[in-house]
């Protein structure tokens, strides 16, 4: 274990023997860190929190602090869970859940979280997401996999962001963003499907075409949502991706960002 002599590690923290900790970092009780993780200088980690293997946390990040919800108390039974292979850049804040929800704020695997990102209490982030500089997630946000957020994206509390969605820089998201969709603006509006991102991830031409047809039905046709859902149900019989879009719509609590 490579621990800089100026780092402060609480004896009730659990660090794998391969963990590295830089100068002046503070790791509190109840923090568990997996193999191969590198904690840079001036990082503050507070428990209860678990962090998996092969993460890299850059200077001045603050992870595991109690939430900014006014009801939060330091001794609440709440926590943060961070998976494997994440890059967490300077000044990122990831805060514990609250007793108003599950008590858990969770980040999955292999996410790229850039400078100044805030992940608020009770948010659940999937895998392979890219959150560009100063993206801010309010509390209770649910994000799927392979989502891209342009710099200064702001996401309202309780919003859901579907997998493979993308937001342009400076977007204000106040409603749910369906899978595969690009949104942009203040407030954000649907601009098309994330076709380039899908191609990069190996989606076939017919799969992208089916998603595009579903997009036109949802966002361009002008039909009422009940009729949209009926037609999507027919399309979903031939496309698992359209089925995913339909499921997302049916489970949306804040309605779609259209």
176 is known as an active-site residue: no
Catalytic residue among 101, 122, 145, 176: 122
- Which two tokens mark 130? 């890219």
Report the chain's mean pLDDT, rounded to a whole number: 97
Question: How do residues 213-223 score in pLDDT, each as one tens digit?
Answer: 999 999 999 99
Q: Measuring CA to CA, which residue among 232, 230, 196, 198 is closest to residue 213?
A: 232
| Residues whose CB falls within 8 Å of the CB of residue 54, separated by 6 or more in sequence, listed in order | 34, 35, 36, 37, 84, 85
Contact 71, 92 (CB under 8 A): no
Question: How do residues 90-129 score in pLDDT, each as one tens digit?
Answer: 999 999 999 999 999 999 999 999 999 999 999 999 999 9
Contact 94, 108 (CB under 8 A): no
The Cβ-side half-sphere exposure at 122, using a 13 Å CA radius, reads 18
88 pLDDT exceeds 80?
yes
Let me know how long the chain is: 258
Quick one: how far is CA 49 from the chain centroid? 17
The CA-CA-CA angle for residues 90, 94, 95, to 5°, reads 145
Rounded distance, CA 220 to CA 236, Å? 18
132 pLDDT exceeds 90?
yes
1 pLDDT exceeds 80?
no
DSSP 71-101: T--TTSS-EEEE-SS-EE-TT-EEE---TTT
Percent of the chain predicted with pLDDT > 70: 100
DSSP 30-84: TEEE-TT-EE-TT-EE-SSEEE-SS-EE-TT-EEEEPPSSTT--TTSS-EEEE-S
121 is known as an active-site residue: yes
Catalytic residue among 121, 128, 156, 241: 121
Rounded distance, CA 258 to CA 245, Å? 14
Strand, helix or coil for residue 246: helix
pLDDT given for residue 257 in this prediction: 82
Place of tokens 């963990």: 19
pLDDT given for residue 258 in this prediction: 80
pLDDT given for residue 116 in this prediction: 98
18 pLDDT exceeds 90?
yes
176 pLDDT exceeds 90?
yes
Q: Measuring CA to CA, which residue among 47, 63, 66, 46 is closest to residue 55?
A: 63
Average pLDDT over residues 178-183: 98
pLDDT given for residue 109 in this prediction: 99
Question: How do residues 231-244 score in pLDDT, each as one tens digit?
Answer: 999 999 999 999 99
Catalytic residue among 22, 34, 85, 139: 139
**Strand 181-185 versus strand 188-193 pairing type:** antiparallel
DSSP 126: -
């Amino acid at each position: 274990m490579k621990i800089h002599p100026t780092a402060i590690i609480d004896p009730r923290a659990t660090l794998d023997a391969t963990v590295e900790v830089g100068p002046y970092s503070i790791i509190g009780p109840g923090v568990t860190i997996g193999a191969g993780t590198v904690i840079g200088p001036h990082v503050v980690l507070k428990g209860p929190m678990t962090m998996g293997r092969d993460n890299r946390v850059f200077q001045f990040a603050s992870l595991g602090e109690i939430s900014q919800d006014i009801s939060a108390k330091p001794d609440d039974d709440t926590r943060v869970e961070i998976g494997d292979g994440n890059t967490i850049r300077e000044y990122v804040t990831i805060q514990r859940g609250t007793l108003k929800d599950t008590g858990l704020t969770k980040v999955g695997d292999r996410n790229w979280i850039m400078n100044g990102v805030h992940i608020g209490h009770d948010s659940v982030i999937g895998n392979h997401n890219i959150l560009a500089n100063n993206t801010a997630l309010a509390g209770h946000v649910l994000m799927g996999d392979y989502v891209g957020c342009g710099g200064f994206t702001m996401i309202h509390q309780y919003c859901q962001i579907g997998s493979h969605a993308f937001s342009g820089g400076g977007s204000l998201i106040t409603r749910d963003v369906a899978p595969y969709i690009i949104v942009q603006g203040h407030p954000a509006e649907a601009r098309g499907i994330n076709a380039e991102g899908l191609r990069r991830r190996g989606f076939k031409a017919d799969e992208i075409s089916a998603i595009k047809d579903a997009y036109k039905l949802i966002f361009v046709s002008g039909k009422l949502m009940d009729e949209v859902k009926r037609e999507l149900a027919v399309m979903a019989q031939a496309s698992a991706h359209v089925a995913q879009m339909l499921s997302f719509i049916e489970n949306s609590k804040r309605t779609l960002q259209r």
